[in-house]
Homo-oligomer: A and B are copies of this chain.
Amino acid sequence: MNSMNFFKEDEFWMREALKLADKASYNTAPNPSVGCIIVKDGKCIGMGATRAAGGFHAEVCALIDSKKNNHNVVGSTFYITLEPCSHYGKTPPCVDQIIKSSPIRVVLSMIDPNPLVSGNGIKKLRSSGIDVLIGVCHKEALLLNIGFFHRMIYSTPWVRLKTASSIDGRTALYNHKSKWITCDESRKDGHHWRARSSVILTGIGTILHDNPLLNVRYVDTPRQPYRAVIDDNFVIREDANIIDGSKVFIFTSIVDKEKEKRLSDRNVEVILLPNEKVPNHVDLSLVMRFFAEKCFNEVHVESGAGLNGKLLSERCIEELIMYVAPIFLGDAFPIAKLKNISNLEDALRFSIFDSINIGSDLRIRLYENSKWDFLFRTTSKVI
């Protein structure tokens, strides 16, 4: 990656392209969300982002935008947050459209790890005499579509666990009178991450105690994610708020054909995925495979100590996004119920991605080392 070989201007325009992609990210699944900016003589003459699946890709949108405003793109520079596709999918290859428009230069955040593309788009551009620069804002671009890339490589979605707790790691008082521990701004930010995801996952304990809707309300979105519940013993109440007519998945280890039938009439899909080693428990890794088969890129988990603990212990979590209020609660519900360990070496270990202030809270992001490192290395390949 020739990452040392770019200018502040390249970074500026790439950040603009990333903003477009970020805005589009609520609506592009199962495709990655991409942004494209066409620049000529220091001015943006076209911009676009991926449309909902089946619609135009970012590069084509940007070309249409520049044409609409009677700009001539010959000799321009394209800033794209992902290597353009070189194969026929639901739309023809973007790389051909770019070559036809005769830019002088294409700047990319990263190569596409999809084996159907990986480097081919770049080769094609270069063999047409176009100067290609790769790696500008690579990390940001990778994060934007981390679920897509993860699914391509590991055949499971990127699972993000969201927590809201006190600084001493407590998520609720024992009497459940603790709405809300974190501030308004944190909850709004949390809904951004809900909106990006394909599905919001919770456990039956949260459904029974908090009876949440688990939809996106604090940010505008053209699409609501699916919702899903891990309900080992199939005890969900049929008047739970989450059963509101929109699609809901319930994973269970217990058969109850009549209840299943009644729920199915209300757009609830009940999936039997018993864990063969642990009686009366759902197999969580099979749940993730199920999601991958549905082409879900990001799974957003908001749950209590029980499911959080199981997902963490079974290494189903790729990322944690933790909203932390600067308060002490003392003896109260923990973030995750985990089995006792007697050696520090057995502790579940992550890495710190970043921490920022949100309102009066701190937001800390952790990630699973080995997978992130592999994705980072794979997508920053020198070609």
Contact = CB atoms under 8 A, between A and B. Distances in A.
The 3 closest A-B pairs by CB, nearest first: A169-B169, A330-B338, A327-B347
B168 A335 contact: yes
A305 B282 CA distance: 37
Given A170-B169, A364-B167, A326 B350 contact: yes
A375 interface: no
Contacts of A366: 167, 326
B338 A177 contact: no
Given A169-B169, A326-B366, A175 B352 contact: no
A51 B329 CA distance: 43
B169 A344 contact: no
Nearest to A326: B350
Given A169-B170, A312-B328, A331-B340, 11 more contacts: A166-B347, A167-B169, A167-B322, A173-B344, A174-B340, A177-B343, A326-B349, A326-B351, A328-B335, A329-B347, A331-B337
Nearest to A359: B352
A341 interface: yes
Contact of A339 (B330, B349, B351, B352): B330
Interface in A318-377: 320, 322, 326-331, 334-344, 347-352, 355, 357, 360-362, 364, 366
Interface string A211-233: 00000000000000000000000
A36 interface: no
A146 interface: no
A5 interface: no
A168 B309 CA distance: 11
A174 B339 CA distance: 13
18 contacts: A166-B169, A166-B347, A167-B322, A169-B169, A169-B334, A309-B330, A326-B351, A327-B344, A328-B336, A328-B338, A328-B347, A329-B338, A330-B337, A352-B357, A352-B361, A355-B355, A355-B357, A362-B364
A340 B172 CA distance: 12
A70 interface: no
Interface string A104-147: 00000000000000000000000000000000000000000000
Nearest to A166: B347
A326 B335 CA distance: 13
A370 to B, nearest CB: 14
Interface string A142-183: 000000000000000000000001111110011101100100
